[in-house]
Amino acid sequence: MGTWVSVIAMATERWGGKLGGFLVGIPSTSAFSLFFTGLYVSPSAAVSATDSFPVFMSLTGVFLLCFGLTARKSFRAGLAASISVWFALSFLVVLINVNEFIISLVVSALISVAIYVGFRIWRTPVMRSRSKTRVSGSLLVLRFVFGGAVVTIAVFMSQIGIPILSGMFAAFPALTISTLIAIQMNGKTRGTEHARGIAFPIMVSIMLLCIPYSIAVHYLYPSLGLVTGTVIAFAMVIAIGIPYYLFVEERLVPSTG
């Protein structure tokens, strides 16, 4: 899992904001968390984790909007505030016990629309630079640890019988955070602005790719099994993602920076 996260983030840095925002939205930690939960616990445990997954994943949009608005003056302060907001809202979801899949989907749709409108109203910058950046060894280690740790915790929560926390950690924005850090560190004087500029594309990509992936897992794992269900779920992501990237992305995410 750590290797997968590292490869995607390296491609993000090398080929710029448009491709980067798209790639970060491809199910990675979430897909691996659900797959290994199904493998080491049971497919039904993975399905239970998806009950709350959409609403947790939509909170990544809140995280990204918060970052885009609060990181203007300080990258560290903006990132810390955004992570704190994500955890606070996630634990609120746990306390409310949102574990009905349809309710989770409806709530995630409402949050996603609100966050999308927020990005359009506040006009955070959108960067589509194709410039290449250097990838440091420390950042590779950071992604490796982030990715592996998130998957491990998500599977462990299913093992001890807490599927809502499994869904929470499966949706944790590990790749998003490590990518923002990488862009800021490699961007020299405009690093923070470039990191803010990729927040909007990532948000839309996640909503269009990760949440449909969880829907596929929810309905395919019980009927088709772990491997076939995962393959078809990723095929759905590809079927949605390629037309979005080629024809729709620049309309949904207009350049404002």
Does position 189 have pLDDT exceeding 60, yes or no? no
Identity (one letter) of the amino acid at 190? R
Provide the terminal-to-terminal Cα distance of the chain, rounded to the nearest Å.
Answer: 33
Q: pLDDT grade, residue 257 (50/70/90)?
A: very low
Length, in residues, of the chain? 257
Q: Residue 130: what pLDDT?
A: 52
Top pLDDT among 87 and 21 is at 87
State whether the Cα torsion 239-5-139-169 is positive or negative. positive
Tokens standing for 169?
């950690």
Contact between 56 and 167 under an 8 Å Cβ cutoff? The reply is: yes
Q: pLDDT grade, residue 72 (50/70/90)?
A: confident
pLDDT tens for 218-255 read 999 999 999 999 999 999 999 999 999 999 888 888 76
Alpha carbon separation from 163 to 43, 45, 88, 98, 211 (Å, rounded) = 12, 7, 18, 11, 17
Contact between 166 and 157 under an 8 Å Cβ cutoff? The reply is: yes
pLDDT tens for 92-139 read 999 999 889 999 999 999 999 999 999 988 876 776 655 455 556 666
Quote the CA–CA distance of 85 and 161 in Å, as a whole number: 26
The predicted model scores a pTM of: 0.88
Does position 7 have pLDDT exceeding 80, yes or no? no
Return left, alpha or beta for 162; rule: phi > 0 is left, psi -120 to 50 is alpha, else beta: beta
Q: What are phi and psi of 112, to 5 degrees?
A: -65, -45
